[in-house]
Amino acid sequence: MKPHAIIVSPLSESQQKHVIEQTYNYIAKATDIFGIKNKAVEISFNLKGRCAGMYRITHGIGRHRRDIRYNAFIFSKFYEDSINTTVPHEVAHYVSDMLYGLKNIKPHGKEWQAVMQAFGVKANVTSNYDLTGVPLKQMSLFTYQCNCREHQLTSIRHNKINKKYFRYFCKSCKQPLKFKHKESASL
Ligand SMILES: [Zn+2]
Ligand SMILES: [Zn+2]
């Protein structure tokens, strides 16, 4: 039986570290160029669906929480491109928020574009990623483990394994995948 993953594996921990570093590099760059006063921003990899990244403010009582959220599946499938385009894209949202306040500007207006230009990155808003293998919204994912990492399986595969007429093996370590937990992804 040849193993083939329908679902893209999400970013590894070391890749996540690298993405976080790159994010802070861009923030540092912006601090130099624009002299912004940085406010705390959380970086997470829990964005699901078709978006590669998102910058979000949650309005709380007396304080705002700022988040840059990345899609661990899209980042994994398009690693270099995500670092070169999505990271500066989201940081540029954060920077234009620091400079002008999000509610005072258009999301991809001239203020955001100016930050992208300062970063030396093309101010593209849409990407043409082939999202085959990227879990989209409302999909149940089953996490399996081999000897080297986690794998995401669809419910179809999970059911086949459950009914004991299928086994899947890891391409890297050749070990059978063992069920770990189930999660529901949503946009
Ligand atoms: Zn954007
Ligand atoms: Zn393995």
Same domain, 84 and 172: no
Predicted TM-score (pTM) of the model is: 0.71
Answer whether 1's CB lies under 8 Å from 171's CB.
no
* Phi/psi-derived region of residue 120, left when phi > 0, alpha when psi is between -120 and 50, beta in every other case: left
Statement to judge: residues 113 and 144 lie in one domain: no
Whether residues 64 and 108 share a domain: the answer is yes
Rounded to the nearest whole angstrom, what is the distance from the C-alpha of residue 170 to the centroid of ligand 2? 5
115 vs 127: which has the higher pLDDT:
115
Q: What percent of the chain lies above the pLDDT cut of 70?
A: 91
Would the pLDDT of 35 be above 60? yes
Question: 180 alpha carbon to ligand 1 midpoint, in Å?
Answer: 35
CA of 175 to the centre of ligand 2 (A): 6
Q: What is the mean pLDDT of residues 70-97?
A: 95
Q: Which ligand has the nearest atom to the CA of 113?
A: 1
Active site residue 150: no
On whether both 35 and 108 belong to a single domain, the answer is: yes
**Whole-number average pLDDT of the chain:** 86
With beta carbons less than 8 A apart as the criterion, state whether 14 and 101 touch.
Answer: no
User: Residue 70 to residues 31, 49, 121: CA-CA distances in angstroms?
Assistant: 22, 11, 18
From the CA of 176, the nearest ligand is 2
**Residue-wise pLDDT tens digits, 138-150:** 456 788 899 998 8
Residue-level pLDDT at 1: 40
Of the residues 13, 90, 150, 183, only one is catalytic, namely: 90
**Residue carrying the six token digits 């699901």:** 48
How far apart are the C-alpha atoms of 99 and 114, rounded to whole Å? 12
Per DSSP bridges, beta strands 42-44 and 64-70 are parallel
pLDDT above 90 coverage of the chain, percent? 53
User: Does 129 map to a domain?
Assistant: no
